[in-house]
Amino acid sequence: MNQPAIRVLLVDDESAIRRALRPPLIELGFQVSDAVRGEEALQMLRTGSYDVVLLDISMPGIGGIETLRRIRAFAPGLPVVMLTVRDGEDEKVEALDLGASDYVTKPFSTRELIARIRAVVRQVKTPGRLDDAPIEIGEIRLEQARRVVTKRGQTLHLTRKEFHILYCLMSRAGRVVSNSKLLTAVWGPNCSEEIQYLRTYVNQLRKKIEDDPSNPLYLLTVIYTGYRFADAQTFDEEATCAAEQASRSESAMSADYLL
């Protein structure tokens, strides 16, 4: 059975961006509507049905940040991917703190954007799990109810704050969590600017969960913004590829033996 098309609302005042994105999205089976300003987008969202919003931060009128704030007031679960510029780090952090699902930085590749669209929509459409249900990504398994983390079946000894940081990231796997949001969640609102605290704990956490802390596979830094825990699908795809390669190697060895 064919999957229903993902309904995209593209909000950007630059006609060149809209013209560049519509054809490849439509060609891949997306349904695309567009708006030039935030005010127009809000009206369309109230009268129509969409699976994801691509929202430019820098627009005339109420702007992308205020548009996001208003979207979250009446559609808290709707995925919103922000389209940002390279020097807009403060705006990126503000957008994430307001509930943006993800962001891409201009100029961006269409492939990257499509991958991020599918990732945020998949997270919403995947049946929800209970907060205390185990989270398993790659070789890392976190059990919130028991406050236990294991890697390859071996228990990792984490401090309370390390566990809390890891849970905040793994429960939002694939999504960027800003520094201020992590600091507020773990240390409280009075520590939202103490980024060095966070860096120190992240470094310690990497030493416990990564095979090579200097080249992390799980706990990834998003420069000037925050951190992201790798999506489970990434590891599933890598495992599938490895299994297929192993199978091909075994078949080749068997063929050589028969010869």
Cα separation, 150 vs 172, in Å, equals 18
Work out how many domains the chain is built from and give that number: 2
Residue ending a domain, among 125, 154, 186, is: 125
Let me know if residue 250 belongs to a domain.
Answer: no
Residue with the bigger pLDDT between 131 and 95: it is 95
What pTM value is reported for the model? 0.65
Let me know if residue 48 belongs to a domain.
Answer: yes
Let me know if residue 249 belongs to a domain.
Answer: no
DSSP bridge partners of 148: 143
Alpha carbon of residue 138 to chain centroid: 16
Let me know if residue 147 belongs to a domain.
Answer: yes
24 and 119 in a common domain: yes
Let me know if residue 193 belongs to a domain.
Answer: yes
* Omega cis (within 30) before 107: yes
Per DSSP, the three-state class of 28 is coil
Structural domain of 25: 7-125
Q: In residues, how long is the chain?
A: 259
pLDDT above 50: residue 257: no
CATH code at position 157 = 1.10.10.10
Cα separation, 17 vs 69, in Å, equals 23
Residue ending a domain, among 95, 125, 155, is: 125
Least confident of 152-166, 170-184, 226-240: 226-240
Residue ending a domain, among 125, 153, 182, is: 125
Q: Name the band, by pLDDT with cuts 50, 70 and 90, for residue 255.
A: very low
CATH code at position 80 = 3.40.50.2300
pLDDT digits (tens, 9 = 90+) for 100-141: 888 888 888 888 888 889 888 877 765 545 456 789 999 999
182 and 116 in a common domain: no
Let me know if residue 238 belongs to a domain.
Answer: no
Percent with pLDDT over 70 in the chain: 83
114 and 18 in a common domain: yes
pLDDT digits (tens, 9 = 90+) for 185-238: 888 777 777 888 899 999 999 999 999 999 999 999 998 899 999 987 766 555
Of the candidates 257, 253, 228, the residue with the CA atom closest to the CA atom of residue 168: 228
User: 130: burial class by Cβ within 10 Å (0-12, 13-18, 19+)?
Assistant: exposed
User: 58: burial class by Cβ within 10 Å (0-12, 13-18, 19+)?
Assistant: middle
